[in-house]
């Protein structure tokens, strides 16, 4: 439940401890214009910020960007950020831990626009100078405020089923934001690099069990292989081959924890040629064998 302190509307202590203890998948708060908005801070949760009114400056990773009503963006865990030069600035925040949501992040990633907004935009913010942030229309702002009120009401009452309901409402919000972003990107020029990378990532996720070549990815991106590889490295801060390998390894690690499938099945479903190669890459990446990791993290094998 929100309270007002020194003209700043913030979450009360119970809400903060609620999400920090893992007993709620999401919390909300609304902050109104005040100089104390400007202190630099970082946190270990994901934060979705919606600018309701006014203007100001948002500093993220050492770069400063102007923000206005309708601007909507993600602040990732561990990133130092703050606000300054507020002019009647009013913010609405949703904070969450992805692993606590009722829908797994990899399933949400299948929604068009999700990866572009929640992963690519913050990751490439310094490259694109914040030009790919989401700007909501007045009608879309109202929709976001409706989600805020529904979540805040559930957290205030905390009756039976509250946590399930909050998780489902917020999951619906994530889908809605992804659709807003996808519609915005599709309305831009066909040369929108971020949207084309999102198309590539959608293809990779949909074909994680199959070989994906640089030529295939470049064709989806709509350029030569060399141009695609340069763009990918510039935005993702890692090569296409490294990204693909790491994606497969993390997918395999998730399956080791959440399934009882044989290693040969997991390697096939994650796009590795055989289980021996998966074991080699897994140990090199995580410092232990898939068997050792599963014995420690999957209750079925304990």
Measured distance CA(279)–CA(263) in Å, rounded: 9
* C-alpha to C-alpha distances, 110 to 37, 114, 286, nearest whole angstrom: 35, 7, 26
Query: Is the predicted pLDDT of residue 80 greater than 70, yes or no?
Result: yes
Segment 4-29 mean pLDDT = 56
Q: Which tens digits make up the pLDDT trace of 84-133?
A: 888 888 999 999 988 888 888 878 888 888 988 998 888 888 888 888 88
Segment 218-236 mean pLDDT = 91
Query: In the Cβ-directed half-sphere of 242, how many Cα atoms lie within 13 Å?
Result: 8
Query: Is the predicted pLDDT of residue 6 greater than 60, yes or no?
Result: no
Q: Which tens digits make up the pLDDT trace of 133-190?
A: 899 999 999 999 999 999 999 888 878 888 889 999 999 999 999 999 988 776 654 4
DSSP letter for 22, please.
T
State the pTM of this model: 0.74
Measured distance CA(1)–CA(208) in Å, rounded: 42
DSSP letter string, 204-215: HHHTTTS---HH
Query: Is the predicted pLDDT of residue 223 greater than 70, yes or no?
Result: yes
């Amino acid at each position: 439940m929100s309270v007002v302190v020194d003209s700043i509307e913030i979450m009360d202590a119970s809400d903060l401890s609620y999400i920090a203890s893992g007993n709620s998948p999401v919390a909300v708060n609304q902050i109104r214009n005040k100089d104390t908005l400007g202190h630099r801070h970082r946190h270990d949760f994901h934060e979705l910020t919606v600018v309701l009114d006014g203007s100001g400056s948002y500093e993220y990773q050492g770069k400063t960007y102007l923000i206005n009503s309708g601007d909507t963006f993600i602040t990732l865990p561990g990133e130092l950020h703050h606000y300054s030069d507020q002019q009647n600035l009013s913010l609405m925040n949703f904070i969450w831990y992805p692993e606590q949501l009722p829908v797994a992040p990899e399933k949400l990633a299948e929604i068009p626009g999700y990866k572009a907004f929640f992963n690519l935009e913050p990751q490439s913010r310094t490259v694109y100078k914040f030009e790919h942030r989401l700007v909501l229309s007045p009608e879309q702002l109202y929709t976001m405020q409706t989600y805020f009120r529904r979540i805040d009401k559930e957290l205030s009452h905390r009756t039976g089923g509250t946590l399930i309901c909050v998780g489902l409402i917020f999951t619906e919000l994530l889908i809605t934001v992804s659709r807003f972003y996808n519609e915005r990107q599709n309305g831009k020029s066909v040369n929108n690099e971020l949207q084309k990378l999102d198309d590539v990532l959608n293809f990779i996720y949909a074909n994680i069990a199959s070989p994906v070549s640089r030529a295939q990815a470049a064709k989806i991106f709509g350029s030569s292989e060399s141009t695609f590889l340069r763009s990918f490295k510039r935005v993702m801060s890692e090569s296409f081959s490294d990204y693909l390998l790491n994606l497969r390894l993390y997918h395999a690690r998730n399956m080791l924890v959440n399934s009882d499938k044989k290693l040969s099945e997991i390697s096939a479903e994650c796009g590795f040629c055989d289980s021996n190669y998966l074991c080699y890459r897994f140990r090199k990446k995580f410092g232990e064998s898939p068997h050792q990791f599963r014995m420690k993290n999957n209750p079925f094998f304990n």
